[in-house]
Chains A and B, each alone.
Chain A
């Protein structure tokens, strides 16, 4: 196929001049590669190559100087800025402003604008107005319009604007001085230096050719014109009449100007090719709902590449770099070679997240008396990465469990370092001076461990390079005691911006590239994704501190020029293409509507291309399904474990109140939990769920009321309580310490949640004690003790004695009545409608707590068949305990339940019936119909509820 570079190569080859004596200048390096490649395909014997250069290299070569890196420059700029700004922000905050200012300076220089004029002191507008001789009418109009509206600003706003503006003027001047002393430079400055001293350029010994340029900066234009007039350089333009002749076409914006120019005009060819006009039928457009599905469409198109065609004649252009991997994933098997040329943000890589988490870790590091501690959040983040897991999976798992189970807010470095080399490398105290070494070592270590993952290694390398830079820049400049915090923020800012420059060496295979990478290249088949407004052309406008009208007045590029460049990039791709596929997306997301690119709209009206084909994704769906588990022999087998056979409560499996309540709530949930053995997930750190709260509370009360070792009971009277009251906070603390298996409360850093929980517990326990005190003395028999009993149940194997059991919070005796007390921290109340209602799963107000305490009574009775005293269940529920008229006992028909025995018969037969159902072969485990029950069910993902 034809291509501009190939055609030009051929022309140069046939020009009769020896290649050896040519200098070929192209807009970028890649074009150079392709150009030589084409040359090679045209020659028959080895030959000297021409010198192939980019325009940049010409400038840098002439100046004998190269630009410094951006970070150093911005840092240098900041040094100047600090002297001019009374209260300068920190460097990390300044960084992006600096980037913007530097870009403006660069523009000013590239376009040879007088910076001093641009940043002219607004206070001296008068003076400015008197000397406008060198400006054109239009420029003057633009500027004065700006001033005029500016003058109408309120004082405050004007001040704000001026404050910064006045600095910029001096900043520019002083910055130049500083650069000269330090020997640094930026590209605009170099360009300006060259363009302003054209007469010093020596005539090159070789013939110079400029190939494929579109938009020059003013400095470039001057230089090239100088080469043309003085050194007889030649220019080859890559253009088409379609956009050149139509004044509206933004793609031809620059060419039209150049054609009018006295010097450049003569370099345009006589006959301008017109290829685009006839292309309508070869251009296909597609609309597709999701961005991600573009990859599937691209793949479909790529599949149709004929087997005998050279892959490098097809290009996939991705304006959004993030689409790279989805596209790579979907490419058909048949495509065996590919070449990617584009930047890919490393912040998408896991390694970046990892480093980011390391920075987080260090940011929240604390030094305490007994060592260095890290905050749990970044630790858990880090531990979930494979890098550490690979180091020591067991250790990681153990540590994660510990953090969860003990609700550790902080973990010591010493503890973490036990995991191995990498752990030692990461979890240690890092002073701000050691930070670079720390990160550098870490990166190298990681790179080594990522054996054959070349891409991740490259990511790391990019990050490492940035790190080295920062180190270099700061090592000599930083004031002695910079906080690590500052570095951490800065790293984060900088790392986020890094891109991995994918550049395949070989010029073969399917080509995948970004928009700008396609410049100068021609392809037979062009596939472009994201042909949406905002992507191609990218919107967003020019980012600059210099207001629009001033940019215009001083001929600095504005959005229009930007658009023109992108339009040319787009239409140029049509020159040689035989097949063009343009894909745009329609889904709107995050406030951004999917709007087809203006290019497509233009071509629809002007070229008459066909309307887009809509791509439909099949929307059929596999819906969820109800789950019913029939009772198989296996299941029945496992239920046998509940048959009472072991007198040791610790070893015997028994149905607890909560198991039974679960069964009543939902049979399937019961199945998952107690039959399939799927444990409910541990709650996430720092969240204190009700059960954690409950256990700590129980423990605290236990600590207060516990009978002494070996004694059968403890007498608690009002005096005892008076003494115990002051001990409440300690008891609560000890309960917390016990729960989290900490050494002491001081060692335990309480999370915010826990502190609140603690305060509430104290208050709650106070209320309990207050109640107990007001109602007179009692005997504590035991606390938090496990009880076990059997209950005869009709099963398929006949009557069986099934075990039931549970911990009773408190058993005491008062005035000859045995009280079975439960502490409740939820919504529970004490109203009982009927005993049967305890077992009625359709009763929306089924009182689970009351059922539980009744079960306690049953358990107690079973163990103490001889005790004849009344067994009175009661609930201390947090919801009501602050009520001055609080009464803990169950209420049935407005009467307190005085003795469990009165109801024992009904209760036990209902209970037996319920358990019988569990063993009933005909009753499968199925889902509840009451969706409310599913709301907090740990298995709701399985059920899809």
Chain B
């Protein structure tokens, strides 16, 4: 068999992608000992990485215990590796242990972290700072960035102009004049690949000052020209009309919109100078009959006027409109864009100052390193050389990422090493992060030589029951076409068959044996009609509507949960998929409050969500944050009252006017209040982490044992914050303000609770029962949410740049029609993919809820996913396997298919045995001691420092030094340590030399006696006695002790004690000396 090394798996939902990937990994890893070190498996998220690792290790562990010949995996491995059972078992064991002990080489990693590793080793070459930190929080950086840029207004006239005009524009649109938030919106583009792809062009254009100003001048000029032109046409038309003695209302259509001729009269308006005939009108212009009504008496005059120039004038309008729209599109973001230069410049400064590298720069940099290189050197530097690359979720790979990987792959393929891409175009939902599904769709295949390629399709669905598969087969065979129709009917854009192409071969098979099981799966999709939107409504109000409708869905969820649990589904089998975290939070609220109101319902409503169980939901957390806010600004009473309110809530005290009134407080709280007042100042001096701790303690939640997971979450937040930032209170509060909705309660995965997660996060996961409550959303965003698309544009050869355009329908009639269409198509594909991901998560049961709307005339626009789904079902959605419309209930607007199994038994839920934690918090300060040194910042140290009492330092030196040389060396080490400065060193050194000049010192430090002071004397029990100097000679011994400060009799006693000890150990007559250092005085102790 011919071995083509480049395997591309095109997978589908539930087709065993992970399984396949693991199998392929094992095939490579088990080939030879340590082969695993040469495999790099790349996944998309940290979680996926984790799971992949676990999966591999689990399979290896199992294989090393026993081989199951009936397992497909085992069979494949034995076949591929040409091993028998024993051989495989042995190899698995060896590899498992090799991996566990060479764990650093076990390269399963996210693209990001792999790239980061490479970047680190190239830091110097890339001119990065040595200790750069990778900054993940782009929003925070942008925040600082925009503030800094706005502050430059005083020194940068250009900037001031851009910003002021921008602010004015916004005011005219009825928005707040504070432009910072809007700047942040557009500014975030600088981190995106969309812009970065064009960055070189951009940098080139702004290289010379005033470019953008010139550019704008030209645009403004051109606009004026167009207006003039329009006025000119208007005048000409006017002149012709008058010449033939006509009024505009004489033309067909009179004063209404059907009168195309009257448009000539409306030209030249400042805001909207060009009013072009519609497409259908344009067709009619050619003839003459359409110019007048049948009954018109002025037929001849009108005909002549048309021929005399009105027709030609009208025909020139569309072209002008295109020009106008183009100019408008260009100018729409121009003012904000004018600030880009400053943003980019300032970002560079900021990165340098704070030694950070933006996470978004990583791909950029790597592309730079890889470009034009043969890849292996990269690995030589980081120390691993990979031969095999396995890339998962390839459809989400970005252009930059792929161009960094490509040389590696090509290099590896060149030596016929196996490489593997796995992905599913249908599940590409990360376009907003730069994911480029076209790569998997066709581009990679075009870029890599055919002779290497081995394309495989995974088409069996192992995940879902037959009904679910069959339903999805039908649904996703029909949806692409319907949506393509929508693209052309709603947006006048050619679909180019993009959706159909991506969903080619969407139908999956089911493993035979599943067809025999009792339960075949159940699908329930329900629609609710909501009031049609008035097209004049602003987008804000639309959102309001959406929220309104969401509540009605919520009410339907509780019965479903009950039903499912009745049918034997455990909480962990059930998942809710949402688009936005807030929707998830609503669901969580609903279920939790139901559980609280109905404690004895007999059902379980525990939910678990990485994204929706916001910390700030908890009263205790609110209280903690409020009090921190109060600490930060004690003049503000609102946080304080907030605190008391939540305190009362936690402790089940009644709140009242007394609590909120600014000068009063209920008596129950007065002692607390007193404590607060007394401790406020002390708390202010504590490090942030401890402030939080103290406040939690003050809140008494540890005793009440409530909200523990939540307050822990806040502590963790502070913990994480301190790690990265200057640990001050205000900084934390600001950070919290921005990040509170990113912090959720963390619950272990194995907790038996229902899952709430976003469709995005659900990718790769599966649940027995899946509920998708909000299936209706706008497909192509507009208004403030409209996407920004970048386009090159050249007004003239010298005036060429790249500009941000807001996606809006007027682009259709502009020079940007091409990118406009791209965006529409991809937006539809996004929605289709999102639906696909959502619907294919279910193993057994699928619930979906969608709103839809139609006008009074029964027209349904196909711009909303809900409407599209409704249209599909209402128009007779049928299942090829069960060709009948029976499952659609027109009245109830419900599609329902599948019978519950006859017998279901509710399982007894096993409660995990919990390990207890201890919660109270104690004062540890008394227990902890730090060591003291001479001249440190303890009270005595500071005093010594102030009075320059050198004796203590000299004492510390003499305690250890065996000679003057050593003393000087030690003194030097004080300097190196920073304890004293050079000047002090000088003085001490002089004093030391003087001391060693003294006859006694000469004798004490002479070589003829053996010095034992370094060793000292050990007493039973471990205590040590260390006189500063012990000398032992042939027939006598000596003890010397140095002292600072006042003379005291206890010093004498101490020396005597030493003398006794030494005498006992040496059996020699022992002399004792006491030497005071300030001033130097020596006494012999008798």
- Chain B residue at minimal CB-CB distance from A286: B915
Query: A695: shortest Cβ distance to chain B, in Å?
Result: 15
Interface contact A632-B657, CB-CB below 8 Å:
yes
A902 at interface, CB cutoff 8 A:
no
Which residue of B100, B154, B915 contacts A605 across the interface (Cβ within 8 Å)? B100
- B residues within 8 A CB of A390? 681
Interface contact A615-B1017, CB-CB below 8 Å:
no
- Chain A residue at minimal CB-CB distance from B973: A66
A650 at interface, CB cutoff 8 A:
no
A878 at interface, CB cutoff 8 A:
yes
- B residues within 8 A CB of A558? 383
Interface contact A679-B125, CB-CB below 8 Å:
no
- A residues within 8 A CB of B686? 350
Interface contact A69-B977, CB-CB below 8 Å:
yes
CB contacts under 8 Å to A, within B97-115, are 97-98, 100-101, 103-104, 112-113
Interface contact A43-B1015, CB-CB below 8 Å:
no
CB contacts under 8 Å to A, within B912-962, are 912, 914-922, 924-925, 927-931, 936-939, 941-942, 945
- Chain A residue at minimal CB-CB distance from B113: A591
Query: A927: shortest Cβ distance to chain B, in Å?
Result: 13
Interface contact A471-B720, CB-CB below 8 Å:
no
Query: A140: shortest Cβ distance to chain B, in Å?
Result: 15
B750 at interface, CB cutoff 8 A:
yes
Which residue of A332, A752, A759 contacts B152 across the interface (Cβ within 8 Å)? A752
CA distance A475 to B136 in the complex (A): 39
Query: B657: shortest Cβ distance to chain A, in Å?
Result: 5
Which residue of A145, A444, A676 contacts B657 across the interface (Cβ within 8 Å)? A676
B584 at interface, CB cutoff 8 A:
no
CB contacts under 8 Å to A, within B650-688, are 650, 655-658, 660-663, 681, 684-688
- B residues within 8 A CB of A297? 915, 917-918
CA distance A174 to B919 in the complex (A): 59
- B residues within 8 A CB of A50? 1015
Interface contact A292-B969, CB-CB below 8 Å:
no
B178 at interface, CB cutoff 8 A:
yes
- Chain A residue at minimal CB-CB distance from B663: A677
- B residues within 8 A CB of A509? 927
- A residues within 8 A CB of B745? 619
Interface contact A464-B380, CB-CB below 8 Å:
no
Which residue of B171, B619, B912 contacts A760 across the interface (Cβ within 8 Å)? B171
Which residue of A152, A347, A386, A545 contacts B684 across the interface (Cβ within 8 Å)? A386
CA distance A677 to B103 in the complex (A): 63
Interface contact A622-B706, CB-CB below 8 Å:
yes
B1021 at interface, CB cutoff 8 A:
yes
Interface string of B48-60 (1 = CB under 8 A from A): 0110010001000
Interface string of B961-989 (1 = CB under 8 A from A): 00001000100110111111110000000
9-residue interface stretch from A121-129, A336-344, A366-374, A852-860: A336-344
- Chain B residue at minimal CB-CB distance from A540: B120
CA distance A592 to B136 in the complex (A): 11
Which residue of A93, A617, A751 contacts B917 across the interface (Cβ within 8 Å)? A617
Interface string of A500-518 (1 = CB under 8 A from B): 1011111101000000000
Which residue of B150, B369, B544, B629 contacts A752 across the interface (Cβ within 8 Å)? B150
- A residues within 8 A CB of B641? 676, 678, 942
Query: A406: shortest Cβ distance to chain B, in Å?
Result: 16
CB contacts under 8 Å to A, within B736-756, are 745-751
Interface contact A624-B619, CB-CB below 8 Å:
yes
CA distance A605 to B707 in the complex (A): 38
Given known pairs A465-B978, A752-B151, the reply for A444 and B942 (CB within 8 Å) is yes
CA distance A490 to B117 in the complex (A): 27
Which residue of A156, A451, A505, A677 contacts B931 across the interface (Cβ within 8 Å)? A505
Interface contact A347-B924, CB-CB below 8 Å:
no
Interface contact B376-A45, CB-CB below 8 Å:
no
A555 at interface, CB cutoff 8 A:
no
Interface contact A458-B930, CB-CB below 8 Å:
yes
> Secondary structure at chain B's binding surface: helix, strand, loop or mixed?
helix
Which residue of B101, B369, B1023 contacts A602 across the interface (Cβ within 8 Å)? B101
A245 at interface, CB cutoff 8 A:
no
B730 at interface, CB cutoff 8 A:
yes
Which residue of B690, B914, B978, B1019 contacts A466 across the interface (Cβ within 8 Å)? B978
B542 at interface, CB cutoff 8 A:
no
Interface contact B927-A614, CB-CB below 8 Å:
no
Interface contact B103-A598, CB-CB below 8 Å:
yes
CA distance A586 to B46 in the complex (A): 12
- A residues within 8 A CB of B713? 290
Interface contact B748-A289, CB-CB below 8 Å:
yes
Interface contact A621-B710, CB-CB below 8 Å:
yes
Interface string of A466-491 (1 = CB under 8 A from B): 11110110010000000000000000
9-residue interface stretch from A32-40, A423-431, A864-872: A32-40
CA distance A100 to B121 in the complex (A): 12
B226 at interface, CB cutoff 8 A:
no
B618 at interface, CB cutoff 8 A:
yes
Query: B471: shortest Cβ distance to chain A, in Å?
Result: 34
CB contacts under 8 Å to A, within B713-768, are 713, 715-716, 719-720, 722-723, 726-730, 745-751
A454 at interface, CB cutoff 8 A:
yes
Measured as residues with beta carbon below 8 angstroms from the partner, the interface class of chain B is 35 or more
- Which of A338, A558, A616 counts the most chain B CB atoms within 10 A? A616
Interface contact B746-A587, CB-CB below 8 Å:
yes
CA distance A436 to B749 in the complex (A): 54
- A residues within 8 A CB of B104? 539, 541, 559-560, 563
CA distance A502 to B930 in the complex (A): 6
Interface contact A96-B544, CB-CB below 8 Å:
no
A153 at interface, CB cutoff 8 A:
yes
Given known pairs A750-B154, A827-B174, A879-B171, the reply for A447 and B1015 (CB within 8 Å) is no
Given known pairs A464-B978, A468-B981, the reply for A43 and B1018 (CB within 8 Å) is yes
Interface contact A152-B1023, CB-CB below 8 Å:
no
Query: A799: shortest Cβ distance to chain B, in Å?
Result: 26
- A residues within 8 A CB of B1017? 46-49
B47 at interface, CB cutoff 8 A:
yes
- Which of A337, A348, A825 counts the most chain B CB atoms within 10 A? A348
Query: B48: shortest Cβ distance to chain A, in Å?
Result: 10
- A residues within 8 A CB of B1016? 48-49
Query: B1041: shortest Cβ distance to chain A, in Å?
Result: 17
B445 at interface, CB cutoff 8 A:
no
- A residues within 8 A CB of B130? 95-97, 99-100
CB contacts under 8 Å to A, within B154-180, are 154, 160, 163-164, 167-168, 171-172, 174-179
Interface contact B689-A348, CB-CB below 8 Å:
yes
Query: A840: shortest Cβ distance to chain B, in Å?
Result: 17
Interface contact B716-A548, CB-CB below 8 Å:
no
Interface contact A622-B689, CB-CB below 8 Å:
no
Query: A822: shortest Cβ distance to chain B, in Å?
Result: 17
CA distance A506 to B104 in the complex (A): 39
CB contacts under 8 Å to B, within A315-370, are 322, 325-326, 328-333, 335-338, 340, 347-350, 352-353, 356-357
A910 at interface, CB cutoff 8 A:
no
- B residues within 8 A CB of A381? 728, 730
Interface contact B382-A548, CB-CB below 8 Å:
yes
CB contacts under 8 Å to B, within A515-567, are 533, 539, 541, 545, 547-549, 558-560, 563
A–B pairs, 27, beta carbons within 8 Å: A40-B1019, A48-B1012, A156-B372, A290-B746, A325-B689, A333-B922, A349-B687, A350-B685, A384-B632, A390-B681, A400-B635, A444-B945, A454-B938, A503-B930, A547-B381, A559-B104, A589-B716, A590-B720, A591-B113, A616-B751, A624-B649, A634-B658, A676-B660, A679-B637, A681-B636, A932-B544, A938-B638
Further 18 A-B residue pairs, CB within 8 A, beyond A45-B1020, A348-B722, A453-B685: A37-B1022, A152-B376, A164-B125, A292-B712, A322-B722, A331-B922, A335-B927, A347-B726, A455-B928, A541-B120, A588-B50, A591-B113, A614-B748, A619-B747, A621-B709, A671-B660, A677-B662, A941-B638
- Sorted nearest first, the 3 A-B pairs with minimum C-beta distance are A40-B1022, A548-B383, A465-B978
